[in-house]
Amino acid sequence: MQAPMTVDLNLPEDRVGPRVRRASKRVWVGGVAIGDGAPIAVQSMCTTLTHDVDATITQIERLQEAGCEIVRVAVPDRRSGEALKEVVRRSILPVVADIHFDYKLALMALDAKVHKLRLNPGNIHNKDGVREVVKRAKEQGTPIRIGVNFGSIPDKVDGELRDDAQRMVDLALSEIRILEELNFDNIIVSVKAFEVPKMIAAYRRLAKAVPYPLHLGVTESGTLVSGSIRSTAGMSVLLYEGIGYTIRVSLSEDPVMEVRAAFDLLKSLELRDQGLTLVACPSCGRADIDLIPLAKIAEERLRALPVPMKVAVMGCEVNGPGEAKDADVGIAGGVGKGALFRKGKVVGVFPEAQLMDALLAEIDKILIENGKEPYSQKAPKSTHDGELTPGRSVPAGTRT
């Protein structure tokens, strides 16, 4: 890699940030608004075969439970196209049909009343077919997402060799032009790449060039952890600049994980609020409790919290409550026991083995105080329970 330049950046101190969004048109995908100040919508894509309607609907329901707001399904063939009617009828979420090359599949999707098409008109050779699809989409109020992926663009656009980001933008603009010339402007656009700097440059340029809401994503980003990191690296830079109105985290994983990752990202940037926000300190040579399994158990058991709540799991009883004073409720480990606290104030001390139950009971109390149903009876079980061994085998009194 080249040596970097070092400069006096002279940056403005608080450039943009989570409360300022780029102005854009608004597009509706079913009942979900995209753009023009709407909350950033989270979407995912089914990994099922679309013509296996039962499996697809089951997956859509799992995605919706995790918070997903829009779901895409692949339509690679007539059999999938024929299944769309039933998928749309039974789906709890707005459905996007992903179509390449074949305008007849797009017409089938429109017949099925899908809520959005993902389709690049430039990929469809039958131009009369394109006109028919766009006319029908306009009549039905169905938006179209233009989706440019760096991996699938030709080396040259319009005969010119441009830099990679510009080639993505140029291709997106040429696809948009096809729709605009047919008087269609119910458009969402994406310019995804695996390489984050390329993707950031493309979205920044596109944001200046068009009035449409942008769908952010990093393609082929990988497995759960590395893919979440790569997706977050690319999208957080843009989102923090006010760019992006709907996101998909693409992972080689159960798509439910994509939805969780998307909300973790949006919650981190304070762009959305939802369920559990876990504050957990790294275990270190100061921790008085076996923190790692405790944090994992807390995350699993509290994942389905019905209201936004910040919950802390801290390693030491002395500093933990104060350091996590912003948390609504939390636990902090001592030697073989731990403190339960609210907004930094200790409200009880419990043996380590009872700490998680005490936390759940306190959360129930908070919910009831706020007129909500208690949660603990509905909390998912943890798969990490066996890992929670009492203490770290440090004899009491040796940590002075």
User: What is the C-alpha to C-alpha distance for residues 248 and 63, in angstroms, rounded to an integer?
Assistant: 13
Binding mask 348-367 for a copy of itself (x = CB under 8 A): --------------------
Non-local CB neighbours of 162 within 8 Å, separated by 6+ positions: 170
Looking at residue 45, its amino acid is: M
Write the DSSP assignment of 230-278 as a string of letters.
HHHHHHHHHHHTT--SEE----SS-HHHHHHHHHHHHHHTTS---SEEE
- The phi-psi region of residue 17 (left if phi > 0; otherwise alpha if psi is between -120 and 50; otherwise beta) is left
Single out the segment in contact with a copy of itself by CB under 8 A; choices: 137-145, 203-211, 358-366, 373-381.
Answer: 203-211
Q: Which pair of structure tokens corresponds to residue 268?
A: 């981190």
CB 355 within 8 A of CB 347: no
Nearer to a copy of itself, 5 or 161 (CB): 5
* Residue choice 125, 162, 177, 208 for contact with a copy of itself (CB under 8 A): 208
* Residue choice 28, 36, 90, 366 for contact with a copy of itself (CB under 8 A): 36
Is position 256 an interface residue for a copy of itself (rule: CB under 8 A)? no
Cα atoms in the 13 Å half-sphere on the side-chain side of 294: 35
Nearer to a copy of itself, 186 or 232 (CB): 232
User: What is the C-alpha to C-alpha distance for residues 17 and 310, in angstroms, rounded to an integer?
Assistant: 21
Question: Can you tell me which residue has the tokens 């807390």?
Answer: 298
Is position 200 an interface residue for a copy of itself (rule: CB under 8 A)? yes
Q: Which pair of structure tokens corresponds to residue 281?
A: 């300190």
DSSP 157: B
User: What is the C-alpha to C-alpha distance for residues 400 and 171, in angstroms, rounded to an integer?
Assistant: 65
* Residue choice 180, 181, 270, 373 for contact with a copy of itself (CB under 8 A): 270
Single out the segment in contact with a copy of itself by CB under 8 A; choices: 137-145, 171-179, 181-189, 312-320.
Answer: 312-320
Is position 229 an interface residue for a copy of itself (rule: CB under 8 A)? yes
In the region spanning residues 119 to 158, those forming contacts with a copy of itself, defined by CB under 8 A, are 149, 151-152
Query: Nearest Cα to 50, choosing from 92, 69, 78, 70?
Result: 78
In the region spanning residues 160 to 199, those forming contacts with a copy of itself, defined by CB under 8 A, are 194-197
Is position 306 an interface residue for a copy of itself (rule: CB under 8 A)? no
User: What is the C-alpha to C-alpha distance for residues 382 and 296, in angstroms, rounded to an integer?
Assistant: 8
Q: Nearest distance from residue 138's CB to a copy of itself, in Å?
A: 25
Is position 291 an interface residue for a copy of itself (rule: CB under 8 A)? yes
Q: Nearest distance from residue 59's CB to a copy of itself, in Å?
A: 10
Is position 318 an interface residue for a copy of itself (rule: CB under 8 A)? no
Query: Nearest Cα to 231, choosing from 36, 42, 30, 22?
Result: 42
* Residue choice 58, 126, 319, 389 for contact with a copy of itself (CB under 8 A): 319
Nearer to a copy of itself, 176 or 261 (CB): 261
Single out the segment in contact with a copy of itself by CB under 8 A; choices: 106-114, 358-366, 373-381, 392-400.
Answer: 392-400
**CA gyration radius, the chain:** 24
* Residue choice 43, 50, 246, 382 for contact with a copy of itself (CB under 8 A): 50
Is position 91 an interface residue for a copy of itself (rule: CB under 8 A)? no
Nearer to a copy of itself, 99 or 133 (CB): 99
Q: Nearest distance from residue 243's CB to a copy of itself, in Å?
A: 7
Nearer to a copy of itself, 67 or 222 (CB): 222
With 0-12 CB in 10 A as exposed, 13-18 as middle and 19+ as buried, what is 1? Answer: exposed
Is position 268 an interface residue for a copy of itself (rule: CB under 8 A)? yes
- As a three-state string, the secondary structure of 190-218 is EEEECCHHHHHHHHHHHHHHCCCCEEECE
Binding mask 325-344 for a copy of itself (x = CB under 8 A): xx------------------
* Residue choice 132, 185, 264, 364 for contact with a copy of itself (CB under 8 A): 264
- As a three-state string, the secondary structure of 67-90 is CCCEEEEECCCHHHHHHHHHHHHH
Q: Nearest distance from residue 386's CB to a copy of itself, in Å?
A: 17
CB 324 within 8 A of CB 352: no
Nearer to a copy of itself, 116 or 230 (CB): 230
